[in-house]
A and B are shown apart, each in its own frame.
Chain A
Amino acid sequence: MDDTNSADAFLHALRAQPPGEDLSARLGQVVAGSLSKGLEVRLDADRSLEDLAVGRYVVMRTNNRLFFGMITDVALDNTNPAFEKTPPDFSNPFLRQIYLGNSVFGRIHISPMLMLDETDIAAGQPVPQPVKTIPGHYTPVATASAEEVAYVFGPEGEHVDEAGAKAHYFHIGDPLDMENVKITLNLERMVERSSGVFGKSGTGKTFLSRLLLAGIIQNNVAVNLIFDMHNEYGWEGSTEHHIQRKVKGLQQLFPGKVAIFTLDMSSSRRRGANPDYEVKISYDQIEPEDIEMLSGVMNLSEAQIGAMYVLRDRMGKAWLRTFLDDGALEAYEGLKGLAKELDQPPQTLAALRRKLDRLRRFDFISEERVDDSVSRILDYLQREHHVVLEFGRHGSDLRAYLLIANYLTRRIHARYVKLKEASFADPSYEPVPLVITIEEAHKFLDPAVASETIFGTIARELRKYNVTLMVVDQRPSGIDSEVMSQIGTRVTLALDSEDDIRAVFMGVRGASELRQVLAGLDTQGQALILGHAVPMPVVVQTRRYDSEFYRQMGFIEGETLQERAAQDIEELGGKRPKRLL
Chain B
Amino acid sequence: MNHADPVLGRVLRSSTTGYTFGFSQAHTQPPAFGALVKTAVGDSHVFGLVYDQRVMDDALVRQIVASSDSLSEERIQDMRMRRQTPIEISVLSIGYEQGGTIYQLLPPHPPDALQPIFACTPDESRRVLTSFQYFRTVLDNMECPSEELLVASIRHGAGCQPPGQAQPYLIGAGRELTRLLAHDHQRLDAILRRLADFFNATHSLPEVPYG
Residues of A participating in the B interface, judged by any CB pair closer than 8 Å: 44-46, 79-80, 82-83, 86, 88-89, 92-95, 97-103
Pairwise interchain contact B188-A46, C-beta atoms closer than 8 A: no
Q: How far is the CB of B158 from chain A (nearest CB, A)?
A: 12
Pairwise interchain contact A97-B178, C-beta atoms closer than 8 A: no
Residue of B nearest to A82 (CB): B185
Residue of A nearest to B208 (CB): A97
Binary interface encoding of chain B residues 141-179 relative to chain A, with 1 for a CB under 8 A from any of its CBs, else 0:
000000000000000000000000000001100110111
The 11 sampled A-B contact pairs (Cβ below 8 Å) are: A44-B211, A45-B211, A89-B193, A92-B193, A94-B192, A94-B196, A95-B193, A97-B171, A102-B178, A102-B179, A103-B182
CA distance A145 to B210 in the complex (A): 24
Report which of B182, B192, B210, B211 forms a contact with A80, defined as CB distance below 8 A. Answer: B182
Q: Is B74 interfacial (CB-CB < 8 Å)? A: no
Pairwise interchain contact A94-B171, C-beta atoms closer than 8 A: yes
From known contacts A79-B178, A82-B186, infer whether A100 and B192 are also in contact, taking CB-CB under 8 Å.
no
From known contacts A80-B183, A89-B193, infer whether A103 and B211 are also in contact, taking CB-CB under 8 Å.
no
Residues of B within 8 A of A44 (CB): 211
CA distance A7 to B189 in the complex (A): 51
Pairwise interchain contact A102-B175, C-beta atoms closer than 8 A: yes
Residues of A within 8 A of B211 (CB): 44-46, 101
Q: How far is the CB of B202 from chain A (nearest CB, A)?
A: 9
CA distance A82 to B189 in the complex (A): 11
Residues of B participating in the A interface, judged by any CB pair closer than 8 Å: 170-171, 174-175, 177-179, 182-183, 185-186, 188-189, 192-193, 195-196, 199-200, 207-211
Residues of B within 8 A of A97 (CB): 171, 174, 207-208, 210
Residues of B within 8 A of A101 (CB): 210-211
From known contacts A100-B210, A101-B210, infer whether A92 and B185 are also in contact, taking CB-CB under 8 Å.
no
Pairwise interchain contact B170-A94, C-beta atoms closer than 8 A: yes
Q: How far is the CB of A40 from chain B (nearest CB, A)?
A: 17
CA distance A80 to B181 in the complex (A): 10
Report which of B174, B177, B183 forms a contact with A94, defined as CB distance below 8 A. Answer: B174
CA distance A103 to B192 in the complex (A): 12
Known: A79-B178, A80-B182, A92-B196. 4 other contacts (CB 8 A): A45-B175, A94-B171, A97-B210, A99-B192
Consensus secondary structure, chain B interface: helix
Q: How far is the CB of A91 from chain B (nearest CB, A)?
A: 11
CA distance A83 to B185 in the complex (A): 7
CA distance A99 to B208 in the complex (A): 14
Pairwise interchain contact A86-B171, C-beta atoms closer than 8 A: no
Consensus secondary structure, chain A interface: loop
Q: How far is the CB of A84 from chain B (nearest CB, A)?
A: 10
Most chain B beta-carbon contacts within 10 A, residue among A92, A93, A99, A102: A102
Residue of B nearest to A99 (CB): B178
Residues of A within 8 A of B170 (CB): 94
Residues of A within 8 A of B182 (CB): 79-80, 103
Pairwise interchain contact A80-B175, C-beta atoms closer than 8 A: no
CA distance A95 to B196 in the complex (A): 7
CA distance A83 to B186 in the complex (A): 10
Residues of B within 8 A of A99 (CB): 178, 192
Residues of A within 8 A of B171 (CB): 94, 97-98
From known contacts A80-B183, A80-B185, infer whether A46 and B178 are also in contact, taking CB-CB under 8 Å.
no
Pairwise interchain contact B185-A94, C-beta atoms closer than 8 A: no
Q: How far is the CB of A205 from chain B (nearest CB, A)?
A: 44
Residues of A within 8 A of B185 (CB): 80, 82-83, 86, 103
Residue of B nearest to A80 (CB): B185
Report which of B189, B195, B208 forms a contact with A88, defined as CB distance below 8 A. Answer: B189
Residue of A nearest to B184 (CB): A80
Most chain B beta-carbon contacts within 10 A, residue among A46, A82, A98, A101: A98
Residues of B within 8 A of A86 (CB): 185-186, 189
Pairwise interchain contact A94-B210, C-beta atoms closer than 8 A: no
Residues of B within 8 A of A103 (CB): 178, 182, 185, 188
Residue of A nearest to B196 (CB): A94
Report which of B174, B183, B186, B209 forms a contact with A98, defined as CB distance below 8 A. Answer: B174
Residue of B nearest to A46 (CB): B211
Report which of A82, A89, A92, A98 forms a contact with B178, defined as CB distance below 8 A. Answer: A98
Residues of B within 8 A of A88 (CB): 189, 192
CA distance A80 to B175 in the complex (A): 15
Pairwise interchain contact A45-B210, C-beta atoms closer than 8 A: yes
Residue of B nearest to A97 (CB): B171
Q: How far is the CB of B151 from chain A (nearest CB, A)?
A: 13
CA distance A83 to B48 in the complex (A): 34
Pairwise interchain contact B174-A46, C-beta atoms closer than 8 A: no
Q: How far is the CB of A113 from chain B (nearest CB, A)?
A: 28
CA distance A127 to B208 in the complex (A): 43
Residues of A within 8 A of B177 (CB): 98
Q: How far is the CB of A338 from chain B (nearest CB, A)?
A: 86
Residues of A within 8 A of B200 (CB): 92, 94
Residues of A within 8 A of B199 (CB): 94
Pairwise interchain contact B195-A94, C-beta atoms closer than 8 A: yes
CA distance A89 to B192 in the complex (A): 10
Residues of B within 8 A of A98 (CB): 171, 174-175, 177-178, 192
CA distance A46 to B175 in the complex (A): 13
CA distance A93 to B185 in the complex (A): 18
CA distance A98 to B179 in the complex (A): 11
Q: How far is the CB of B35 from chain A (nearest CB, A)?
A: 23
Q: How far is the CB of B197 from chain A (nearest CB, A)?
A: 9
Most chain B beta-carbon contacts within 10 A, residue among A92, A97, A100: A97
